[in-house]
Structure 1
Amino acid sequence: MADTEFTLSDLRTILLEAAGADDGVDLDGDIADSDFQDLGYESLALLETAGRIERRYGISLDEEAFDNARTPRVLIDLVNTHLSAADAVRP
């Protein structure tokens, strides 16, 4: 198990830092299975989000897998998979 777990709260914080939030979108609501486009996040905002995640957590996200992460739940799972893999190779 990773020493650090990436949570929906962590993602909300990074999304707000990277791109803010559209009016009328409640990021505090149940957004785990909402499509990022429905939440107002286009590809440029998501690229900024990925960059912030990579820098903050010291991981490198697979570009194709990231492109396929259309919802917060899928992105959180992807990040946690990378965090677990990084922990496995640390001494």
Structure 2
Amino acid sequence: MSAHRFTLEDLKRILLEGAGAAEGVDLDGDILDTPFEDLGYESLAMLETSSRIEREYGVTLDEDMVTDAATPRRFIEAVGAQLAPTATAA
């Protein structure tokens, strides 16, 4: 598994590739704690985003996680948890 971190820039890139940007929404602003719905991304857009992340990063994202992570900050944390190497007992 890659040691790559999932960042806000990664999320914005994938959101724009999959769903575009809503008119009047500035993704370059302080959006970490702004609900996706306020950014113009409904549940279908977030499912598309999660599918793209799964393919690109080789992770599996639980559908409940996707719907529960209502802000970019929470979504990034959830994806990051999937990318973190799992510690194994010696």
Structure 1 gap segments, 5+ residues each: none
Structure 2 gap segments, 5+ residues each: none
Q: What's the counterpart of residue 11 of structure 2? A: 11
Q: What's the counterpart of residue 38 of structure 2? A: 38
Question: Would you identify which runs of 4 or more consecutive aligned residues in structure 1 move more than 2 Å?
Answer: none
Number of residue-to-residue matches in the alignment? 86
2:86 is paired with a residue whose SS is helix
By how many angstroms is 1:23 displaced?
Answer: 1.0
> Is the CA contact (8 Å cut-off) linking 2:47 and 2:66 kept in structure 1?
no
Q: What's the counterpart of residue 29 of structure 1? A: 29
2:86 aligned with 1:88, yes or no? yes
1:49 is paired with a residue whose SS is helix
Normalising by structure 1, what TM-score? Answer: 0.90
CA RMSD for the aligned pairs? 1.3
Distance in 2 between residues matched to 1:26 and 1:15, nearest whole Å: 13
Distance in 1 between residues matched to 2:66 and 2:15, nearest whole Å: 15
Normalising by structure 2, what TM-score? Answer: 0.91
